[in-house]
Structure 1
C-alpha cells in the first residue's frame, strides 16, 4: 500500500494540502515532469487521484528521430510516446517542449569540454541544474502552476520556513546525489512525491492505475551517449579531442602511446594498450600534456578534494563554518552510501577531507554533502571536484601532488 503525505496545518490553523501548499487540491495546479518512465508516470497518477489540477510536460532533449528505437535512454522518442499514452490514460493535458537547443548548449557542449579537459563529468547533474530545474521550472510558473513535481527518489520538507532536501526511504534508489545543485529557491517550488515509496511500491501503483509503463525498464545510458561510448560522441562533437600522446607511469617512465585521453577514465584498468609486469590503473589524465598517467591501485587512493561551483543548501552560511571544519558525510559516487568527512571553507577555497579515503576519484565528478548517513539524512549541498590529493604521491614524494590550498575555488 502506498504512503501518501497527510494533510497538515501551518501555525495550527491554516490547512495545507498534501504538497504543503495552501488551498484545496482541486484549486492547485501542479506541472509534472513526465519522462515516459514509470516513476514520473506514477507521480502524475498519484496527484491526479488526489484531485490536483495536473498538467504533464515532457522535454524533447536529444535526437528525437534516431532515439525512437534506442533502449535504455531517457528523453528519447519512445519515451515521449509513452508519456503521451500515460497522460491520455490519466485524462490530463500533456505538452511536449522542444528543448534540444538549450540542452545542447547547457549539457552536451559542457560535457564535451569537461571530458576534453581530462575530467569525468556528470551530465545528469548539469541537466537538472539548468534545463529541468531552471527552464522547465520557469515554464511551470508560466502555466500558473504552484509546484513542479518530478519522479526523483528524494524527499523534501519544510525546515524553518524553507524546504530542505533529504535522502529517500528507498536507499537503493537514492537520487539526492544528482540534485545537490538544486537551489533553495528551486526547492521551494519542487515536489518529490516518491520519496516515501520503494521502487516496488511505485510499480504496484502503476499497475493499480492501469499504466502500460508499469514494467518498463529503467533508463541506464546517458541519453545522448548510446551504449555508453563517450569517446565516440566527443570525437563527433570535437574532432580535435583525439590528440595522441604518451602513457606515463607515476614514476616517470614512458610506457607507450595513446590515441587521445578521451578514451580513458580515472580508475580504468583494462584496455590501456600497454603491457607491464604489474596491474596498472589510470591514475590521472593530464589534458595539457596529452598524457595518461598510470600506476598501482594504491595510487588511486584520495583523501582530500577541492570543490568548485559549490551549492550550499544546509543551515546557516558556508562562510560561517567552524575554523577547524564541519563534520559531515560525503558521497563521491551515486551508488555509494555517504562516508564520514570534514568540510573546510576558508579564503574562497572549499575542501573536503574523506576520513576513510576513496579510490578512483576524478576531477569533474560530484561530491555531495550530508548531515548523516541514514535514510533521513539532509542534503547540505555539494560541488564539482576541482582537484584531488593522492595519498600515494604524498607518501612517496613527501608533498601533495597538487597544493589544494592554492586552488581558487568559488565558495558559492
Structure 2
C-alpha cells in the first residue's frame, strides 16, 4: 500500500515528468507508476525499455517512489484486437482514444486505488472544471497541444479522480521547467504515431496481422491505374505509398486515396488534395458518449473535430433516440472524414463528448452504400 494520495502516470516523456514535478512541488504526496502496455515482439523497435529507464530516472531525480504495472494483456484485448478488426473492415481506427478509455483511465485508475491513492495524474494537455456538481473536460490552454480530442470518452467518475497539471501551460514552458530542474527527459523527443508501432514502417507492421491481398487501383470512373497491396493499408486522403508516378493521359498532379471498396478489394484514387470525392457535409456515427452523462439536447449546434489538430468546424447535431447515434451536418464541406475515426463535439472550450464515425455522404461512399442496398 502506497502513502501517496496521487499516482502520476510516468511514461518516460517530458510531459509526465513535469506533471510529477509540479504536483510534488505543490505539496502533494505522490508516487509514479509506469505502465507497460505492449509486450516486446522481438523487433527491437519498441521504446518501452528506454521509456522505463527514463521514468525510473525521473522519479529518482524527484525523490518519489515508482510502481510498475503490466497492462499488455489488457491492451491487446481492449485496444489492439479492435485496431486490427477495424483495419480489416476498411476503416481507420484511433487507438489513442481507446487506450485512454480502457487502459489509462480504467486499469491505471484501478491500480492507483489499490495503492491507496485518491487521484491519478497524467501529462495530458487538458483542463478540468466543476460546475453545479458536474465535471467538465476543457481544452488545454495551449491549443496547439490540446489533447481533449483523445479524452472525449471519459466520464464523471474518471474525471473526478484525475488531475491534469499541464492543462494551463504552453509546451515551451514545460520544456523550460524540465531543463531548469535538470530532469533527464528535458530534451527527449515527443513520441509520435501509434505506441506499439514505434519507428518501424506501418505497412510492414500491419502486414503481420493482415496479410497482403493485392487488388486494383482505379479512378472514380473505373479506369485501372495500377495495383495495391491491400486496401486496409490505406486511409482516405492519403498520398504516400501509392507508387503511381506519372500516369499516361493524366496531369502530373499527385494522386490521393478517395475511396475503398473493401468487398471488391479496389482502392479508388483521384488527383488533387481537394478532390470533390474527398468532400462530405454529413456524417453518421456509432452511439455517442457524453462526458456529462447525457447530451445537451436532442438537436443542437456546436463545433466539431473529425481529426486531431483539425480546426474545429460549426455543425448541427441530431441524436437518434433509440440508438444514441449521431447525425452531424457541417456548415461547409469537410475533407477526408474517415469512418473509424472520432467526431468530437465542443461548446467553446468545453468538450461535450463524441462518437466513432460510421459513415459519411462522400460521393464514393454513398455510391457503394447504395449499390449494397
Q: TM above 0.5, one fold?
A: yes
SS class of match (1:226): coil
Please report how far the alpha carbon of residue 386 of structure 1 lies from its aligned counterpart in structure 2 after TM superposition.
Answer: 0.6
- Distance in 2, matches of 1:113 and 1:126, equals 14
Q: Does 1:282 find its partner at 2:257?
A: yes
SS class of match (1:171): coil
Q: Structure 1, unaligned stretches of length 5 or more?
A: 1-26, 408-412
Please report how far the alpha carbon of residue 28 of structure 1 lies from its aligned counterpart in structure 2 after TM superposition.
Answer: 6.7
Change (3 A) 1:263 1:161: same
Q: Does 1:366 find its partner at 2:342?
A: yes
SS class of match (2:83): helix
Please report how far the alpha carbon of residue 92 of structure 1 lies from its aligned counterpart in structure 2 after TM superposition.
Answer: 0.9
* 1:302 alignment counterpart: 280
Q: Does 1:245 find its partner at 2:215?
A: yes
Please report how far the alpha carbon of residue 401 of structure 1 lies from its aligned counterpart in structure 2 after TM superposition.
Answer: 6.0
* 2:57 alignment counterpart: 85
Q: Does 1:59 find its partner at 2:31?
A: no
- Distance in 1, matches of 2:241 and 2:65, equals 50
- Distance in 2, matches of 1:271 and 1:210, equals 42
2:319 to 327, 345, 351: 345
* 1:387 alignment counterpart: 359
Please report how far the alpha carbon of residue 137 of structure 1 lies from its aligned counterpart in structure 2 after TM superposition.
Answer: 0.8
Please report how far the alpha carbon of residue 400 of structure 1 lies from its aligned counterpart in structure 2 after TM superposition.
Answer: 6.8
TM-score normalized by structure 1? 0.81
- Distance in 1, matches of 2:146 and 2:347, equals 15
| Contact map agreement 1:151 1:192 (CA 8 A) in 2 | yes
Q: Does 1:311 find its partner at 2:281?
A: no
- Distance in 1, matches of 2:311 and 2:158, equals 25
SS class of match (1:185): helix
- Distance in 1, matches of 2:40 and 2:66, equals 17
- Distance in 1, matches of 2:95 and 2:320, equals 29
What does the per-residue CA deviation read over 1:352-388, in whole Å, with 9 as the maximum and x for residues that have no partner?
A: 112122111211111110002xxxx100001111111
SS class of match (2:264): coil
* 1:267 alignment counterpart: 237
Please report how far the alpha carbon of residue 269 of structure 1 lies from its aligned counterpart in structure 2 after TM superposition.
Answer: 2.9
What does the per-residue CA deviation read over 1:236-289, in whole Å, with 9 as the maximum and x for residues that have no partner?
A: 1233xx222222322233443322113322112343244351444211222222
| Contact map agreement 2:4 2:31 (CA 8 A) in 1 | no
Say how many residue pairs are matched: 360
- Distance in 1, matches of 2:178 and 2:216, equals 53
- Distance in 2, matches of 1:310 and 1:141, equals 28
> CA-atom RMSD, angstroms?
2.4
| Contact map agreement 2:91 2:232 (CA 8 A) in 1 | no
Please report how far the alpha carbon of residue 32 of structure 1 lies from its aligned counterpart in structure 2 after TM superposition.
Answer: 0.4
What does the per-residue CA deviation read over 1:280-333, in whole Å, with 9 as the maximum and x for residues that have no partner?
A: 42112222221212234121011111111421124x733x724xx311100112
* 2:11 alignment counterpart: 35
| Contact map agreement 1:284 1:362 (CA 8 A) in 2 | no
SS class of match (1:356): strand
Matches within 5 A, 1:139-154: 139-154=111-126
SS class of match (1:227): coil
* 2:307 alignment counterpart: 333
Q: Does 1:117 find its partner at 2:89?
A: yes
Matches within 5 A, 1:124-135: 124-135=96-107
- Distance in 2, matches of 1:93 and 1:260, equals 47
- Distance in 1, matches of 2:210 and 2:228, equals 17
Change (3 A) 1:260 1:361: same
| Contact map agreement 1:301 1:359 (CA 8 A) in 2 | yes
| Contact map agreement 2:126 2:164 (CA 8 A) in 1 | yes
- Distance in 2, matches of 1:388 and 1:117, equals 16
Q: Structure 2, unaligned stretches of length 5 or more?
A: none
| Contact map agreement 2:90 2:232 (CA 8 A) in 1 | yes
SS class of match (1:172): coil
